[in-house]
Chains A and B, each alone.
Chain A
Amino acid sequence: MKRTHPSFSRFKNYIRRPHIVISLILLAILLFIVLVPFARMIRDSFIWQFADTRLSRNALPGEFTLFHWKRVFSSALTQNILVRPLFNSLTTSLSVSACAMFIGSMLAWLVARTDIPFRKTIATVAVLPYVIPSYIHALAWINLFKNDRIGGAAGVFQYLTGIVPPDWLSYGYLPIVVTLSIHYFPFTFLLVSAALTSIDSRLEESGEILGASRTHILRRITFPLVLPALLSSFILTFSRVLGTFGTPYFLGTPVRYFTLSTQIYSNITNRIPSVGYILAFVLIAISSAVIYINQKMIGKSKSYVTIGGKGFRVTDTPLGRMQYPLLALIVLLFLASVVLPLVLIVWQTLALYPGDYSLRHLTLLFWIGEANTAFAEGEAGVLRNPAILGAAWNSIKLALSASALAGFLGIFIGYAVVKGRNTKLASMVEQMSFLPYLVPGIAFGALYLALFSHSFGPIPALYGTFFLVALVCVAKNLPFTGRAVITSMLQIGSELEEASETLGARWSMRFRKIILPLSIQGAISGFVLVFITVMRELSLIILLVTPQTRTLTTMTFRYQEQGYTQFSSAISVMIIVIVIFGELFSKKLGKKGSI
């Protein structure tokens, strides 16, 4: 036997274990797609850019400067660049989280704990608003309440009633809060329903046996038990709304109501990227703080939640005379959050002239019309328009490749994390893969723009390539697939792999025969989630797409920006159809895949 130095052989033995090798490779990948962009963005914020020569005579492109930081934090522009958008971001996010939490939790309670009719149906339907991309609610709102004062044609409301809606109803704070609340309440609904059904209902029953009144039980027993779910839904909604770009852009920008996300966008498109980057930091800082607080609070309060699961169902609280009024309210909510937006969007696609909703002038021109110079500057209807079909193909390609890659990486992340549990290396992989979650979509796009608009080491400038758009989607969604696989792998436990190891199987065989088949379920659910998310993605990729790589969502955005509301609405309908098909297909896949 050849003798080597023991500590070297020890190192070799350490390295030779497959999950260590995988962890190291993953760390390298994560470093590249998560940390490096971050570092690059910090660096760029301290450096004069070429475009800055327009803003300052002292600009020396490539040299160090505090110019951008000063511009954001202490200059005459601070009020406009930072303070007001920050205030708007915080007020809209807080209002949306509060409204969404109220609607979602009331609905959850009605479905889980009362005798309201059609509970199953309500539970299914309640999730729909979340499936519809959030900016579609914004577009529908515009179609409904737009006035002709800001420019462009008036909406349905003005058309039908003749009353010109005031600006505060058409644009700004109120519509943003309403549309986003409608979009995000299903999130609270899902979390609180899950909590309500998993709480050991014996806790509530024992209260009842002791003679406590129903309101007393609700207040003193049920409420504290679902509090963690409420808190996290509040906070998760908050941080998502904070990073949302589409809705505040459509509903805020026309009246110069800026939020941090739209301010980032406009700074970057106005070629002051460094300022955009700094604002992105502010956004990242707020949402990291919020998520950190969430984890602290959940960590503490979770300890007294009894998740027993198998308790008997509590007898439902009878609603008495309130039963039907409440049901009517729910139907109204459903109409407002799902039916009305869809009807408005579809109707819009059929209107020959913007603002003219009369049945006489309904047309399929914008769907199947040939290119005709009389309309829409000679663009053909969406179903025969090569640019839009190309974008549809791009969207599908992007969603498929990003979700496949994210699912694939997720399997390795799950394996490395579960197998190396309690080691520093594994927790590093876990934390790094979770990082993108902290970064709001628009800010993450800004990170990638900062890194890949120049060539970087051996890597060419990737800006403008499909690969870059796919990469940003993969990176941003890794937390979801990683989580999904980690959860399913934790349930499986590591002994199943070890059993095959003691029978002499090499790692490649263990992976193919044991690890992959057992974790594919988790990977598939992550895959589906990512597919749907990417299909609707706007905030993340809006800064990165170019005419060659544009997707349906960014096309909607462009058409809307240029006032071609029929086109933007028609494309939105296409997105919804594809998302719903994806969802249905995944249900089938899920059934087949289950063992």
Chain B
Amino acid sequence: MAADIIEVKNLTKVFGNVVAVDNVTFSIAEKDFLILLGPSGCGKTTILRMIAGLEIPTQGEIYLKDRLVFSSSKGVFVPARQREVGLVFQSYALWPHMTVFENIAFGLKVKREGSEVIRKKVDDILAYMQLEGMKDRYPQEMSGGQQQRVALARMLVSHPDILLMDEPLSNLDAKLRLEMRAEIKNIHSQIGATTVYVTHDQVEGQTMASNIAVINKGIIEQLAPPKTIYNRPANLFVADFIGSPAINLMEGRTSSEGDDGRVCFKTGEFTLVTAYRNIQPGREVVAAIRPESISIVKEESANTIPGEVRTILPSGPETVLRVRHANLVFSLLLTQEVNLSPGQKIHLYLPAENILVFDKQTGNLLPL
């Protein structure tokens, strides 16, 4: 078996009558960087806390480094302090009555390291985190970004093999968030600890992860590398949740009008050729296409839809365009200069190979 550092099997957590985590199974290989991504309240924090040993699962098993740390059926529960897992809280949870030095040294004191060793290690990590000269401050006397780095330092100083981070950047402003994102990625590649990172910011997910688990209502909807999640979302929830502006969705039926066996997608208004070949005609489906895959063309041709420009939202190098066709509104993401004005009639080109088709009933992506 590959070296799976974290293994979670059929994990369930029920609070009263709320099922916060519902039969979740996944594993993380050594040095992997897994991101748990999902809307607020979907159970991300709960999963993390169960791995750390701060929450007792209702059902399931957890292995850390091949050691069984929780099993409901075998009645095993290893408490947090014996799991050797580093955790950064969303709130940082720095101790307000201790200085930065005391905060960071705490874990080392727990391990009864000598005071010289502690001093050296804390100084090293402070230097690494660019926090020299702050060791006698109290957390309340520092900026959000500095507090965040102290929280990271406190966790890293005892070199855990497993790092858990719960939305560590959510309290920072946009610029600082960008910097810290790079820093965390850098730390991960340097120390190579297996990391689980929770966020509901999908950009964070896209840029940092080796794998993403998209979670919804306590269930893992899809666990895959970021590219796959983006390009081949397993179902409509993932397709809709990932990407900004959101993916364009159209409801309709399949038909077999396409050439060389390709399946067509029909609504009452238009017909689009897709790259699919294995869907029987007449099936109710939802077709989807990412905003940046749609382009504007002058002439009407195959896979074009006529439309009227509604709004133009320039943002830096990109422009988001909203175009209406009948009762559908398409979002477009254009990187080139746009010379259009609202009300103008244009044609949208939806390339066949970029169209995804989902089953309407189950919401799952259909095979090509």
Q: A-side interface residues toward B, CB under 8 Å?
A: 4-10, 12-13, 16-17, 422, 493, 495-496, 498-506, 509, 513-514, 517-518, 595
Contact = CB atoms under 8 A, between A and B. Distances in A.
14 contacts: A6-B74, A13-B56, A17-B79, A422-B16, A493-B91, A495-B89, A496-B93, A496-B95, A500-B106, A502-B53, A503-B107, A504-B81, A517-B97, A595-B97
B77 A13 contact: yes
B80 interface: yes
Contacts of A504: 81-82, 84, 107, 110-111, 158
Contact of A506 (B74, B81, B87, B89): B81
A514 B110 contact: no
A8 B89 contact: no
A505 B81 contact: yes
B85 interface: yes
B97 A503 contact: no
A9 B93 contact: no
Contacts of A506: 81
A579 to B, nearest CB: 31
Interface string B145-156: 000000000100
Nearest to B15: A422
Nearest to A506: B81
Closest CB pairs A-B (n = 4): A9-B75, A503-B107, A6-B75, A495-B93
Contacts of A501: 53-54, 79-81
Given A503-B107, A503-B158, A518-B97, 17 more contacts: A6-B72, A9-B74, A10-B72, A10-B75, A12-B75, A13-B77, A493-B93, A498-B93, A499-B89, A499-B154, A501-B81, A502-B85, A502-B87, A503-B81, A503-B106, A503-B110, A505-B81
Given A422-B16, A495-B91, A505-B106, A9 B81 contact: no
B307 interface: no
A509 B75 contact: no
Contacts of B73: 6
Interface residues of B, number: 35
Interface string B328-344: 00000000000000000
B121 to A, nearest CB: 14
Nearest to A518: B97
Chain A, interface SS category: helix
Contacts of B80: 498, 501-502
A595 B138 CA distance: 10
B162 to A, nearest CB: 10
Interface string B52-89: 11101000000000000000111111011111111101
A504 B113 CA distance: 13
B96 interface: yes
A4 B81 contact: no
Contacts of A4: 75
Interface string B92-124: 011111000000001100110000000000000
B110 A509 contact: yes
A513 B109 CA distance: 11
A8 B77 CA distance: 12
Contacts of A518: 95-97
Contact of A505 (B54, B94, B110): B110
B181 to A, nearest CB: 22
B196 to A, nearest CB: 13
Contacts of A502: 52-54, 80-81, 83, 85-87
A518 B340 CA distance: 62
Contacts of A493: 91, 93
Contacts of A509: 110
A12 B79 CA distance: 12
B106 A513 contact: yes
Interface in B311-367: none
A517 B103 CA distance: 14
Most B C-beta atoms less than 10 A away, residue of A7, A17, A493, A501: A501
Nearest to B56: A13
A4 B53 CA distance: 21
A498 B54 contact: yes
Nearest to A8: B75
Contacts of B82: 504
Nearest to B91: A495
Contacts of A12: 75
Contact of B75 (A7, A422, A513, A517): A7
B76 A9 contact: yes
Contacts of B85: 502
Contacts of B75: 4-10, 12-13
Contacts of B96: 518, 595
Nearest to B164: A502
Contacts of B54: 498, 501-502
Most A C-beta atoms less than 10 A away, residue of B76, B81, B96, B158: B81
Most B C-beta atoms less than 10 A away, residue of A5, A16, A503: A503
A244 B146 CA distance: 55
Interface string B1-35: 00000000000000110000000000000000000
Contacts of A8: 75
Interface in B30-58: 52-54, 56
Contacts of B72: 6, 10
A317 B15 CA distance: 51
A521 to B, nearest CB: 10
A387 B77 CA distance: 60
A514 B95 contact: yes
Nearest to B90: A495
A178 to B, nearest CB: 48
A491 to B, nearest CB: 11
A543 B16 CA distance: 46
B345 to A, nearest CB: 48
A515 B16 CA distance: 27
Contacts of A13: 56, 75, 77
Interface string B284-297: 00000000000000
Contacts of B83: 502
A503 B107 CA distance: 5
A522 to B, nearest CB: 13
A422 B56 CA distance: 14
Nearest to B107: A503
A4 B71 CA distance: 13
A511 to B, nearest CB: 13
Nearest to B68: A1
A504 B112 CA distance: 11
A506 B83 CA distance: 12
B152 to A, nearest CB: 12
A1 to B, nearest CB: 9
Nearest to A505: B110
A506 B79 CA distance: 10
A503 B111 CA distance: 9
A16 B73 CA distance: 18
Interface in B149-189: 154, 158
Most A C-beta atoms less than 10 A away, residue of B56, B77, B84, B85: B77
A14 to B, nearest CB: 8
Contacts of A10: 72, 75, 77
A105 to B, nearest CB: 37
Contact of A499 (B74, B77, B87): B87
B261 to A, nearest CB: 56
A502 B89 CA distance: 11
B128 to A, nearest CB: 18
A96 B188 CA distance: 68
Contacts of B94: 499
Contacts of A17: 79
A303 B158 CA distance: 46
B101 to A, nearest CB: 14
A501 B106 CA distance: 11
A517 B85 CA distance: 25
Nearest to A5: B75
A500 B107 CA distance: 7
Contacts of A513: 106
